């Protein structure tokens, strides 16, 4: 039984201790808020200055995860992990050296030849039946566009502006080479310490959830490694198909187009379509009939790759809806360029896996 008295609540009595402290010491409160803002700005500037290093670390980790399936395959054949890593990196160095010694000189020669022959290609195209058909249907507008494009490309000042100058190109090339070396060295350390890193990460989680976290982490790392290796294999098939097709049809710059095909088609879904357009346009400069055959043949190959090769090669990875692949590639490409588009897909797959195995089950348990 209550005594019938009610405790009145006034605004003064409802005032929290934190609020009263603020009112009593407004200067101290403002000082600490300002100090917190300055610390946040300093941390933001530090992260901005460390962006390049953080990108190197991220790419090195992805490279280590991509090479880890090969290392584990050698481990299953009773090869110690240390020797497995040595074998993998020696093989990778041999492939890289072969590309540099065999393919790179040919590519440089064909790039130089392409730049020198651009005016000739434009003149031949303007005398071709294809241009006559376009000009007959679209009038003088087509000729004006081609003429303006030709004048722009052959103008040395425009070429220098596009490239940012010879000095800037050299600096960019040196930066890219040094970045590649840093990524390779970091990936070697990450690959060697990957099991220890995983065990340390598992020990930081609560014991009741440790097995689930370990299983989820293994699925994510296996999926990323399988995805990266699968995309390298598919890109290699693309480059070989392009090389053979360009050689058979007698189209210009087969080695150059094979390298471009490998670099572009390593991005799933978006890459093959983009290279189909680029390859068809370059082939059109050499032979319109050959360009038509290449366009039709590569379009057929894209269907074979989508419905036969990709399911066989990517059987260990997480299936991602096509719309998310496109969105992820666009976001990654906008932020970090070609490599960003490549890395964005396994990141998207990992987020989907966490969503399916962590977020959705927790929501299902709620009533």
pLDDT digits (tens, 9 = 90+) for 144-178: 666 666 566 555 555 555 444 445 555 566 676 77
Residue 66: predicted pLDDT:
83
Return d(Cα 140, Cα 328) in angstroms, integer: 41
* Distance spanning both ends of the chain, measured CA to CA: 37
Question: How many CB atoms are closer than 10 A to CB 124?
Answer: 14
Token couple for 78: 């009773």
Q: Among 223, 316, 328, which residue's Cα sits nearest to residue 267?
A: 328
Residue 151: predicted pLDDT:
62
Q: Confirm if 103 and 255 have CB atoms less than 8 A apart.
A: yes
Q: Among 65, 153, 78, 166, which residue's Cα sits nearest to residue 114?
A: 153
Residue 238: predicted pLDDT:
93
44-to-36, 38, 39, 50, 342 alpha-carbon distances in Å: 12, 10, 9, 10, 26
Return d(Cα 192, Cα 71) in angstroms, integer: 10
Render each residue's pLDDT in the chain as its tens digit; 367 residues. Answer: 445 445 454 555 445 555 555 556 666 767 777 888 888 888 888 777 777 788 888 888 888 888 888 888 888 888 898 899 999 888 888 887 877 777 777 767 767 777 677 667 667 766 766 667 666 666 666 566 666 665 665 555 555 554 444 455 555 666 767 777 888 888 888 888 888 888 888 888 888 888 888 888 888 888 888 888 888 888 999 999 999 999 999 888 888 888 889 988 887 777 898 899 999 988 887 788 888 999 999 999 998 888 888 777 766 566 667 677 778 777 887 777 767 777 787 788 788 888 888 888 888 877 6
Residue 147: predicted pLDDT:
63
Q: Among 361, 57, 314, 67, which residue's Cα sits nearest to residue 183?
A: 57
Residue 171: predicted pLDDT:
59
Question: How many CB atoms are closer than 10 A to CB 195?
Answer: 12
Residue 157: predicted pLDDT:
56
Q: Confirm if 69 and 195 have CB atoms less than 8 A apart.
A: no
Return d(Cα 139, Cα 165) in angstroms, integer: 37
179-to-76, 108, 197, 360 alpha-carbon distances in Å: 33, 21, 24, 39
Q: Among 343, 321, 346, 318, which residue's Cα sits nearest to residue 332?
A: 343
Give tens-digit pLDDT for 271-322.
Answer: 898 899 999 988 887 788 888 999 999 999 998 888 888 777 766 566 667 6
Q: Among 226, 285, 266, 300, which residue's Cα sits nearest to residue 72?
A: 226
The dihedral region occupied by 25, where left means phi > 0, alpha psi between -120 and 50, and beta the remainder, is: beta
Residue 242: predicted pLDDT:
93
Residue 207: predicted pLDDT:
83
Return d(Cα 345, Cα 334) in angstroms, integer: 13
């Amino acid at each position: 039984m209550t005594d019938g008295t009610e405790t009145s609540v006034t605004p003064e009595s409802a005032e929290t201790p934190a609020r009263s402290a603020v009112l009593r010491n407004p200067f101290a409160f403002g000082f600490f808020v300002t100090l917190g803002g300055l610390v946040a700005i300093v941390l933001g500037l530090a992260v901005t200055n460390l962006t390049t290093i953080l990108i190197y670390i991220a790419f090195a980790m992805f490279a280590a995860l991509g090479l880890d399936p090969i290392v584990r395959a050698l481990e299953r054949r009773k090869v110690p992990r240390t020797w497995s890593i040595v074998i993998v990196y020696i093989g990778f160095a041999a492939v890289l050296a072969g590309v540099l010694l065999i393919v790179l000189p040919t590519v440089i020669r064909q790039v130089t030849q392409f730049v020198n022959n651009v005016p000739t290609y434009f003149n031949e195209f303007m005398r071709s039946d294809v241009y006559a058909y376009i000009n007959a249907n679209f009038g003088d507008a087509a000729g004006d566009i081609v003429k303006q494009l030709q004048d722009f490309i052959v103008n040395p000042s425009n070429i220098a502006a596009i490239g940012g100058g010879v000095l800037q190109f050299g600096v960019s090339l040196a930066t890219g080479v040094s970045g590649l070396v840093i990524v390779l060295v970091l990936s070697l350390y990450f690959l060697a310490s990957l099991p220890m890193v995983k065990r340390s990460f598992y020990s930081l989680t609560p014991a009741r959830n440790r097995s689930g976290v370990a299983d989820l982490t293994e699925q994510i790392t296996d999926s990323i490694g399988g995805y990266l290796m699968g995309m390298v294999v598919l890109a290699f098939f693309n480059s070989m198909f392009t090389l053979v097709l360009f050689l058979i049809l007698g189209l210009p710059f087969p080695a150059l187009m094979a390298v471009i095909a490998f670099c572009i088609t390593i991005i799933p879904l978006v890459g093959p379509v983009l290279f189909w357009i680029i390859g068809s346009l370059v082939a059109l400069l050499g032979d319109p009939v050959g360009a038509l055959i290449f366009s039709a043949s590569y379009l057929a190959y894209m269907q074979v790759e989508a419905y036969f090769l990709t399911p066989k090669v990517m059987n260990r990875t997480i299936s991602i809806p096509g719309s998310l692949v496109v969105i992820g590639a666009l976001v990654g490409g906008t932020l970090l360029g070609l490599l960003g588009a490549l890395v964005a897909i396994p990141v998207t797959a990992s987020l989907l896996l966490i969503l399916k195995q962590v977020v959705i089950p927790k929501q299902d348990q709620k009533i």
